[in-house]
Structure 1
Amino acid sequence: MAYDINLANRIRERLFELPNIEEKAMMGGLTFMYNDKMCIGIIKNELMCRIDPAFHETAVEKPGCRTMDFTNRPMIGYVLIEQDAIKIQEEFDYWINLCLDFNKKAKSSKKQKSK
């Protein structure tokens, strides 16, 4: 499954000055890890945002936002944003900032040890 390279470049440009950013192919798209924690991603042509679960219900009321539901299982704290909802830089920055703010208190996935 391909992801939108233009959206990937917008994210790269926005995160350029941050330390500890790592890109990983994940979920058929691209994920940006920040401080070893999943932060932002792209699935097809949508922005995937990891946000504070306490803000989830408010977020999905915003235009172009919906709950991420991989394998028909809603994932609270993960939302997908349609491209039309992030055309304007202020809208794009709003979602990126939500992800970065939550990243400070998000728990890191434990790394698997090599055998």
Structure 2
Amino acid sequence: MVHVGKLNYEELLNRSDSKPMDFTGKPMRGFLFIGADGLDSADDLDFWVEKSFEFNRLLNQ
């Protein structure tokens, strides 16, 4: 799971390795579930960690 916020949510949701985070039958907007194929390599993991950091930097401005 990665928290990316609402700003880039739709764009990142269009990636083949992500889908809406849905624990209750209602998607949690701003959160994405990343499938195993999205974490296959260090570069893949780095991409999602950076997206999370980008969102967190916005919160601290």
Q: TM-score range by the shorter chain?
A: 0.7 to 0.9
**1:87 maps to which of 40, 44, 53:** 40
* Consecutive unaligned residues in structure 2, runs of 5 or more: none
Q: Given the two structures, how large is their TM-score scaled by the length of structure 2?
A: 0.86
**Pairs aligned (count):** 60
Higher helix share: 2
Distance across 1 between alignment mates of 2:59 and 2:14: 22
Alignment partner, residue 14 of structure 2:
61
Q: Give the structure with the higher percent strand.
A: 1
**TM superposition score normalised by structure 1:** 0.48
In the alignment, the residues of structure 1 paired with residue 25 and residue 38 of structure 2 have an alpha-carbon distance, to the nearest angstrom, of 23
Moved beyond 6 Å, runs of 4+: none
RMSD: 1.4
**Larger relative contact order, structure 1 or 2 (CA cutoff 8 Å, min sep 6):** 2
**Correspondence 1:72 to 2:25:** yes
Larger Rg: 1
